[in-house]
């Protein structure tokens, strides 16, 4: 077995993976590393179900609330931060426990990402200004003239991805699809003993958990959290502004719908998101250890059994 070990814990939203990761970290004396694309934003603790201050005090946590909602965060940036975090944990003789529901982050961690060069800030700002001034459909037509194949893959209204394709061409002279087809650099888990666990709850139970959790979020101050975010007057196309519940609660604050309607809309979107996550896991995590137990104590016993089988515990 390698001197370096890591535990990866994936699962759909509201599956209980954060609680599992905390117990695993406490058992192993490990450090929890966030692999959720929305929990990186410091302004969205409640609405993204980030660990509470009490939970964070029970084990070291990294990459939670480390990015401003005003920034555009990417898988490449997460991989860079995660690489630094895991390296630091290993250098201290610890075990990283990577937990989240963003499948692309786990894929990047294990397989690396296509080597798209860093885009200069001036180029990024230019295309963001163009998006605001001209709109996504017009930029999509411009992209079609430069790279018809990439444009064909993108929806005309998907401003974030259209801008990404345009800025890559502007900065490198090479279409994004060509970079994406380039063999990726190796993931950072080479020569590491890795235990992979994916939580797989019953779908109807998961949907009920999603619904109940959103109601608790509203009780815990999600609307006030979004009001603070709204006061920042950010570009609505930023990833943080598209987090589940943010557009719906902003509509409530603007008097466009009731809080009850916003909750119902967000519950529906959250259930659909959970379904997409499970579909992605089914296709991309075939070899992972799957935990089907629903009750928390039995689920933890199964997780600990997997750790014992992989010689991480006695």
pLDDT at 86: 97
Residue 314 maps to a domain: no
Same domain, 194 and 259: yes
Q: Quick check: helix, strand or coil at residue 162? A: helix
pLDDT at 33: 98
CATH number, position 144: 1.10.20.140
The per-residue pLDDT for range 259-294, each reduced to its tens digit, is 999 999 999 999 999 999 999 999 999 999 999 988
Q: d(Cα 104, Cα 122) in Å, to the nearest integer?
A: 27
Low-confidence ranges of the chain (pLDDT < 70): 1-2, 184-186, 314
Last-in-domain residue among 157, 181, 205: 181
Q: How far is CA 215 from CA 36, 54, 58, 219, 266, in A?
A: 21, 21, 26, 6, 10
Residue 30 maps to a domain: yes
Last-in-domain residue among 135, 157, 181: 181
pLDDT at 74: 87
pLDDT at 90: 97
Last-in-domain residue among 181, 198, 227: 181
Same domain, 90 and 190: yes
The per-residue pLDDT for range 126-165, each reduced to its tens digit, is 998 999 899 999 999 999 999 999 999 999 999 989 999 9
> Token digits for 168?
């890559």
Q: d(Cα 64, Cα 56) in Å, to the nearest integer?
A: 10
Q: Quick check: helix, strand or coil at residue 90? A: helix
Calculate the dihedral angle through the C-alpha atoms of 275, 176, 189, 198, rounding to the nearest 10 degrees: 0
Same domain, 33 and 20: yes
Same domain, 217 and 204: yes
Range of the domain at 134: 121-181
End-to-end CA, the chain: 15
CATH number, position 291: 3.40.50.300
Same domain, 146 and 18: no
Same domain, 221 and 169: no
Q: How far is CA 77 from CA 37, 57, 70, 281, in A?
A: 11, 26, 15, 22
Domain count, the chain: 2
């Amino acid at each position: 077995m390698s001197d370096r070990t890591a535990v990866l814990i994936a699962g759909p939203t509201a599956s209980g993976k954060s609680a599992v990761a905390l117990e695993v970290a406490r058992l192993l004396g490990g450090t929890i590393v966030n692999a959720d694309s929305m929990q990186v934003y410091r302004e969205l603790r409640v609405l993204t179900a980030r660990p509470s201050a009490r939970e964070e005090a029970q084990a070291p946590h990294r990459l939670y609330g480390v990015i401003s909602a005003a920034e555009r965060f990417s898988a490449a940036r997460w991989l860079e931060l995660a690489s630094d975090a895991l390296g630091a944990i290993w250098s201290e003789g610890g075990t990283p426990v990577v937990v989240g529901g963003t499948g692309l982050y786990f894929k990047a961690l294990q397989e690396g990402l296509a080597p798209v060069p860093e885009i200069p800030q001036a180029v990024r700002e230019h295309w963001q200004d163009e998006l605001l001034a001209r709109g996504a459909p017009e930029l999509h037509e411009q992209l079609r003239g430069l790279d018809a194949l990439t444009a064909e893959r993108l929806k005309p209204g998907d401003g974030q991805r259209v801008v990404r394709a345009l800025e890559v061409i502007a900065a490198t002279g090479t279409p994004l699809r060509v970079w994406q087809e380039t063999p990726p650099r190796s993931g950072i888990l080479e020569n590491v003993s890795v235990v992979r666990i994916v939580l797989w709850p019953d779908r109807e139970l998961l949907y009920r958990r999603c619904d109940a959790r959103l109601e608790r979020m509203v009780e815990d101050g999600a609307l006030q959290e979004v009001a603070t975010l709204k006061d920042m007057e950010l570009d609505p196309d930023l990833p943080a502004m598209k987090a589940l519940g943010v557009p719906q609660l902003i509509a409530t604050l603007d008097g466009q719908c009731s809080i009850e309607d916003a909750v119902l809309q967000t519950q529906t979107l959250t259930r659909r998101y959970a379904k997409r996550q499970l579909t992605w896991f089914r296709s991309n995590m075939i070899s992972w250890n799957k935990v089907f137990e629903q009750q928390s104590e039995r689920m933890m016993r199964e997780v600990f059994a997997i750790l014992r089988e992989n010689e991480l515990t006695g």
